[in-house]
Amino acid sequence: MSYNTFGREFRFTTWGESHGPALGATVDGVPPGVPLDEAFIQQFLDRRRPGTSKFTTQRREADQVRILSGVFEGKTTGTPIQLMIENTDQRSKDYGDIASSFRPGHADITYHLKYGIRDYRGGGRSSARETAARVAAGGVALAALNHLVPKLRIVSYMVQMGQMHLDRANFDSSAIADNPFFLPDAGAVDAWADYLDGIRKDQNSVGAAVEVLIEGCPPGLGAPVYAKLDTDLAAAMMSINAVKGVEIGEGMGAAALTGTENADEIRMGNDGPIFNSNHAGGILGGISTGQPILVRFSVKPTSSITTPRKTINQHGEDIDLITKGRHDPCVGIRAVPVAEAMAACVILDQFLMDRAQTGGVRGKIG
Amino acid sequence: MSYNTFGREFRFTTWGESHGPALGATVDGVPPGVPLDEAFIQQFLDRRRPGTSKFTTQRREADQVRILSGVFEGKTTGTPIQLMIENTDQRSKDYGDIASSFRPGHADITYHLKYGIRDYRGGGRSSARETAARVAAGGVALAALNHLVPKLRIVSYMVQMGQMHLDRANFDSSAIADNPFFLPDAGAVDAWADYLDGIRKDQNSVGAAVEVLIEGCPPGLGAPVYAKLDTDLAAAMMSINAVKGVEIGEGMGAAALTGTENADEIRMGNDGPIFNSNHAGGILGGISTGQPILVRFSVKPTSSITTPRKTINQHGEDIDLITKGRHDPCVGIRAVPVAEAMAACVILDQFLMDRAQTGGVRGKIG
Amino acid sequence: MSYNTFGREFRFTTWGESHGPALGATVDGVPPGVPLDEAFIQQFLDRRRPGTSKFTTQRREADQVRILSGVFEGKTTGTPIQLMIENTDQRSKDYGDIASSFRPGHADITYHLKYGIRDYRGGGRSSARETAARVAAGGVALAALNHLVPKLRIVSYMVQMGQMHLDRANFDSSAIADNPFFLPDAGAVDAWADYLDGIRKDQNSVGAAVEVLIEGCPPGLGAPVYAKLDTDLAAAMMSINAVKGVEIGEGMGAAALTGTENADEIRMGNDGPIFNSNHAGGILGGISTGQPILVRFSVKPTSSITTPRKTINQHGEDIDLITKGRHDPCVGIRAVPVAEAMAACVILDQFLMDRAQTGGVRGKIG
Amino acid sequence: MSYNTFGREFRFTTWGESHGPALGATVDGVPPGVPLDEAFIQQFLDRRRPGTSKFTTQRREADQVRILSGVFEGKTTGTPIQLMIENTDQRSKDYGDIASSFRPGHADITYHLKYGIRDYRGGGRSSARETAARVAAGGVALAALNHLVPKLRIVSYMVQMGQMHLDRANFDSSAIADNPFFLPDAGAVDAWADYLDGIRKDQNSVGAAVEVLIEGCPPGLGAPVYAKLDTDLAAAMMSINAVKGVEIGEGMGAAALTGTENADEIRMGNDGPIFNSNHAGGILGGISTGQPILVRFSVKPTSSITTPRKTINQHGEDIDLITKGRHDPCVGIRAVPVAEAMAACVILDQFLMDRAQTGGVRGKIG
């Protein structure tokens, strides 16, 4: 079983290799009547696109998405939506080294061991380029959510890059779109840029942590006990290339808290329950409370660095390898719009799952 | 869509409420011919059982498992295995308070909002009692793994409890079974016991972190890109009650590393590749490398504490609630055998998934 | 992959062998708030139960269903419903013959070849006794449909038994419940009884054809293109033991018709479209039209007959085998309530699937 | 839930509308290392292609398939295979009539009722053009089967067209490829041609029956009890446009047989069991016996005929409609290669399912 499909009700299957003719996503389960066109999806691809700053790979892909099916006269029809992105910048070059060598930290060796064959050009299927297809699918999910849950807002941003940490006292979501780090603190951008420049000049790379904030999510989403909302969000983030940890609310820090510290007490408000704190990150028992949902994840440093590393090749010979090519010094940056897309897909999927079982009717309080 | 089923090839569906007549797991996809009996499964349930020390709830359940189908003359037949555990210690009592009140930190309020109805007795379906069914299913998975991958070893243990941390210099896996904390350091047990006693006497509770170590896992397990081995492990752990974060290898700490620090360099050994370090935690590109797999997760402090907390009831009234009853001061302790069971289910599932697609044949090196 | 689960949104997994301690169904995805108790389900089991006439096996099972989870204070909670039926009449006897011999027409040989092991007692998992679990699950589906689609009516009945055919001119649905053949023609019951008596006295058995009529099904159910409503109904019926053919509307007869004969012309009525005929059997493009849905299927004659048959045993020896034991001369009779149950499960599943994607909103005409 | 995906281990999702820019299939779960190129798939598309005789629609599509992913240096890599077919002959024309009218016998009205919106051009998603994508996916399945089960042979052919029936005494599989009816009887081709010419000149259409014969299928394929091999084959055939009935072995005729007539007696041969007859059609208890597998299905007459039919339009007005355009007088003809493709997909899927659970090991006889 190969598993290139994400979701249950809202499902997308990504396909394509880094240096093949095209890649894309086959999206199924979209409700009919949702306004959708290529321009709407394109804006999300543009945010993710490599080559937009000196901190992301200089590969220049137009990343133009085409909708090949499922949309008629500007609206979804309920049939599968095929999103295709042609690969336009596969430089003709000698892949001799990568073809038979295993880059440390890469999936080269595990794909070889599992399949006995791999498209080695640019990492093939294991390339982060696959995330372009997710972002396109996420665009469809966001269009559907705008239609079905208009109050919902999803935003993602960096909270850490190596030794640099977001100062939450300065949190300003309006700053996110205006800097190459998706950093919600305009005043810290220059320092982060200097730091990353240093990393780059050292032929090195660095890890990152990204946060996703989901506001306006209705209560009741999440399907106990093996499709909990937090389970789905964790799986979605962990499926992104290079992610090594996922946290909901207090996350790993919950291990250090006591019950009195961690309790989110409740009082009744005019429009429903009001929680006095949000250690839970908006989810209890796997089901959304109506509070903001907070997900955080770490991204390991780019494995492809120009400092030589010890490794082996397919012949079982010890070699030293320098990974040439165009690579980001911090792949975590490009994970930011991907996380937003994945979160949108999870929320839409759970919304549709809930609508199936409960009809969207909520239990009453008061 | 309700989702009480875990897995793809090896699938189990848990059923049952905390205070209903019984609970259990319906297990499907088990290979035929695996030696299995109730005693084998019972040993795992005994490890998880409440009432085994003063640090776990005093509810005394025999937790005797019965195999109702799928096993004939001591071997699995390939048909569904029904595992049933009867609830024997549902004390007759007045649930008046819990029936209409929402305990802070519990799923009471979210189940009510989602379903409009809930079995409030002992938390009903959202009770950690559900994990008994997982442990039973995990016993079936372990029996199959013993048969199919005899070298595989899965062990889980606590690495943190509030302010107490495992000193990894003292790591001794042989100590795990001999103390109530599943702690791989016999010398630290008394200090942990004193600490937890203090928490308990303060009417409080505390969080924990648990680690799962999987040794002897063959390379090539994991199905890119949405059923990666790390994705599945993360989802499995996050689905356990009260878990708030999951890490693979370096985990959240990867955000602070540079590429040179994080690289796991490779040299060729006699039996295959040897990795000089294991920051990756045994998984690259979602596929196992053959190295030890390391998963870590946090468990929030028990929400049910006898210190009064502010909350509301179903009538929308503000109240103060003391959660009476028998509760663990650190639910993280009981999560340890549950994590082991879930890890076994993931590995078996991926083993069978891989066998379907590749026939279990591995790519050659050298 | 073993596959003992039916359905997508409304899912049930059956478990249990003919002569094990119990069998049952684990039902998931049921909407919350549906009135349900054991008595409601029991009425369907009672219709199916062996031993109710001289034309069905003399095995006397009480077939008492117990609800072990998922129902609280008389209503479903949205959590899994475990339905258990204990086997009470597994006569202690010598299975020596069946244990190592393969009964012709039975699954004995194919289970042995596939699994290398089988519970041979009474056919084990391949016994028609498995259908008791389906009927129980179907009872849950019918309870949910009564709640969600109160106008829906599902009825099934025999239309053929060997050389006997239902005369459709005499069709009277009120007669179905009052005779052992579920025959909608009271006047023909004696002739059918005489015919089957003759078959039985000849140590023989006979095939049958059963029809399911679904009235009041709303338009719009069915998920193109691989979960069409007719596809799902065909799969549901074909999964019943001994079924060899399934037809929708005109069925196999459609091969002989011309386009002018087959067309179901349409005129506008006060409450929506009115079809002048129903060759399509209520389904177009895999989606219900709102017309009555008609499904028909054949059941092969009982393979277990007391006339000796040539076969082989596990040692590869040629033998002659007489199948002793309690067997129905026409298993098609007992398939009637099973078909009704399966149809209910399909309709509920598709209703929930449609609700997820469209919210249950229908396109307008006029 | 929309459901455009077929299969479990070997899965394909078809996408695209009749008059959109392209259509295709996203194929996942393919074993790695299977030799595959576009030419291999193209031969199956060429057999199905419209415009190849005067008996199929005069729409002239090149139906050139492109492989966009998942194949590297002539072999499958185990990653998703995207198959795209561009639509080249969407004549620019006035769709005014079809846009708002519901053709009798078509999915126009049910798609409208379900989705409230539809791509009416050429039937959109409900067009039989979708089957081109299935045939392409079936080509991938056949390539994999050639690699994994080289002895397997799948052939399909017509057995009935209106009043014309195949004379089985003349059965000659070598004739199938050489006539426009896929008829295994060269001597009958002229009579069939004259018959269909008459139908066509009468502005009429006619139904058909198609048979699929699978030889060399290993025993043990089929997953009881809800993914039986016959269940899967029935669902696969019933999902093809215009199919109204499916039979396995004796099919609907089994209703008329007695147990002594229907029994397939067994004797031991040198290479395993030999069945003296094959009423079962090669499947017992949902699992293949090793005998030839026989599936038969009916296709209703083309609904689009140039004889005027009564119907309504979207405004709820009664109208008389003549369906203009290029239509086959017997759509059953084009269903023949589609059935072959679907059968290949089912067999491969079940082969991989079986390999997951049993490792492909068979029980021994003798």
Q: Residues A92-120: pLDDT tens digits?
A: 565 667 789 999 999 999 999 999 999 99
Residue of A nearest to C349 (CA): A356
CB D201 within 8 A of CB D291: no
The Cα–Cα gap between B159 and B339 comes to 13
Using CA atoms, how far residue D286 sits from B282, B356, D289, D346, D357, in Å, is 40, 20, 9, 13, 16
Tell if the CB–CB gap between B356 and D79 is shorter than 8 Å: no
Tell if the CB–CB gap between A257 and B112 is shorter than 8 Å: no
DSSP labels for C139-152? Answer: HHHHHHHHHH-TT-
| pLDDT confidence tier of residue B294, bands split at 50, 70 and 90 | very high
Give, rounded to a whole angstrom, the gap between the first and last alpha carbons of chain C: 49
Tell if the CB–CB gap between B256 and A104 is shorter than 8 Å: no
The Cα–Cα gap between B140 and B29 comes to 11
Looking at residue C50, the DSSP 8-state letter turns out to be: T
Tell if the CB–CB gap between B357 and D352 is shorter than 8 Å: yes
CB C156 within 8 A of CB C343: yes
| pLDDT confidence tier of residue A253, bands split at 50, 70 and 90 | very high
Interface probe with C: pick from D246, D307, D361, most Cβ of C within 10 Å: D246
β-pairing, B65-67 with C5-6? unpaired
CB D7 within 8 A of CB D345: yes
The Cα–Cα gap between B32 and B30 comes to 6
Query: 């139908």: which residue's tokens?
Result: D199
Tell if the CB–CB gap between C72 and B22 is shorter than 8 Å: no
Using CA atoms, how far residue D336 sits from B56, C244, D135, D330, in Å, is 66, 21, 10, 11
Query: How much of chain C exceeds pLDDT 70, in percent?
Result: 94
CB nearest A82 (choices: D3, D16, D356): D16
Residue C205: what residue type? Answer: S
Residues of D in contact with A87 (CB under 8 A): none
| pLDDT confidence tier of residue B305, bands split at 50, 70 and 90 | confident
Give tens-digit pLDDT for D324-357. Answer: 766 789 999 999 999 999 999 999 999 999 999 9
| pLDDT confidence tier of residue B61, bands split at 50, 70 and 90 | low
Q: How far is C305 from chain A (nearest CA, A)?
A: 42
Q: Is C223 annotated as a binding residue?
A: no
Mean pLDDT (whole number) for B204-217: 97
Q: Is D48 annotated as a binding residue?
A: yes
Residue A112: what residue type? Answer: H
> Going along chain D, which residue ranges are E strands?
5-6, 11-16, 22-28, 65-67, 71-72, 75-76, 81-86, 153-161, 164-165, 208-215, 243-248, 266-269, 272-275, 283-284, 287-288, 293-299, 309-312, 318-321
CB nearest C356 (choices: A32, A79, A356): A356
Q: How many CB atoms lie within 10 A of CB C261?
A: 16
Q: Is the pLDDT of residue B51 over 60?
A: no
- Residue B250's SS3 state is coil
Q: How far is D57 from chain A (nearest CA, A)?
A: 23
Mean pLDDT (whole number) for B343-350: 98
Give tens-digit pLDDT for D212-229. Answer: 999 999 999 999 999 999
Q: How many CB atoms lie within 10 A of CB D151?
A: 9
| pLDDT confidence tier of residue A52, bands split at 50, 70 and 90 | low
Mean pLDDT score across all residues of chain D:
94
The Cα–Cα gap between B5 and B14 comes to 7
Under 8 Å CB-to-CB from A284, ≥6 apart: which residues?
Answer: B105, B106, B107, B109, B110
Cα within 13 Å of Cα(B118), Cβ side: 32
Q: How far is C291 from chain B (nearest CA, A)?
A: 27
Provide the token pair at B274. 């040897």
Q: Is the pTM of this model over 0.95?
A: yes
CB nearest C300 (choices: D254, D312, D316): D254
Q: What local confidence, expressed as pLDDT, does residue B58 receive?
A: 57
CB C99 within 8 A of CB C46: no
- What's the complex ipTM? 0.96
Mean pLDDT (whole number) for B141-150: 98
Q: Which chains touch D (3 or more CB pairs under 8 A)?
A: A, B, C
Helix ranges restricted to H, chain C: 38-48, 96-100, 108-115, 130-148, 189-201, 229-238, 259-262, 332-358
Q: Give the lowest-confidence range in A141-150, B279-288, B318-327, C3-12.
A: B318-327
Provide the token pair at A37. 């066109």
Residues of chain D below pLDDT 70:
1, 50-52, 56-61, 89-96, 325-326
The Cα–Cα gap between D305 and C257 comes to 13
Q: Is D54 annotated as a binding residue?
A: yes
Dihedral angle over CA of A304, A309, A310, A315, nearest 10: 40
Q: What local confidence, expressed as pLDDT, does residue B207 receive?
A: 98
Cis peptide preceding C225, ω within 30 of 0: yes
Using CA atoms, how far residue B25 sits from A45, B78, B344, D171, in Å, is 44, 16, 15, 52
Cα within 13 Å of Cα(D184), Cβ side: 20
Containing B14, the helix (H) or strand (E) segment is strand B11-16
Q: What local confidence, expressed as pLDDT, does residue A59 receive?
A: 58
Tell if the CB–CB gap between B13 and C14 is shorter than 8 Å: no
Using CA atoms, how far residue B141 sits from A124, B146, C14, D219, in Å, is 34, 9, 20, 27
Residue A263: what residue type? Answer: A
The Cα–Cα gap between B58 and B200 comes to 13
CB D29 within 8 A of CB C1: no
The Cα–Cα gap between B289 and B217 comes to 8
Give, rounded to a whole angstrom, the gap between the first and last alpha carbons of chain B: 49
Phi, psi for residue C38 in degrees, rounded to 5: -65, -35
Under 8 Å CB-to-CB from A315, ≥6 apart: which residues?
Answer: A100, B365, B366
CB nearest B244 (choices: A205, A251, A314): A251
Q: How far is D73 from chain C (nearest CA, A)?
A: 31
The Cα–Cα gap between A283 and A254 comes to 14
The Cα–Cα gap between D100 and D92 comes to 18
Give, rounded to a whole angstrom, the gap between the first and last alpha carbons of chain D: 49
Cα within 13 Å of Cα(C298), Cβ side: 26
Mean pLDDT (whole number) for A294-320: 93
- Which of the listed ranges A321-335, B56-70, B126-140 does the model predict with the highest average pLDDT? B126-140
Angle between helices D332-358 and D130-148 (to 10 degrees): 40
Give tens-digit pLDDT for C120-142. Answer: 998 999 999 999 999 999 999 99
CB C61 within 8 A of CB C131: no
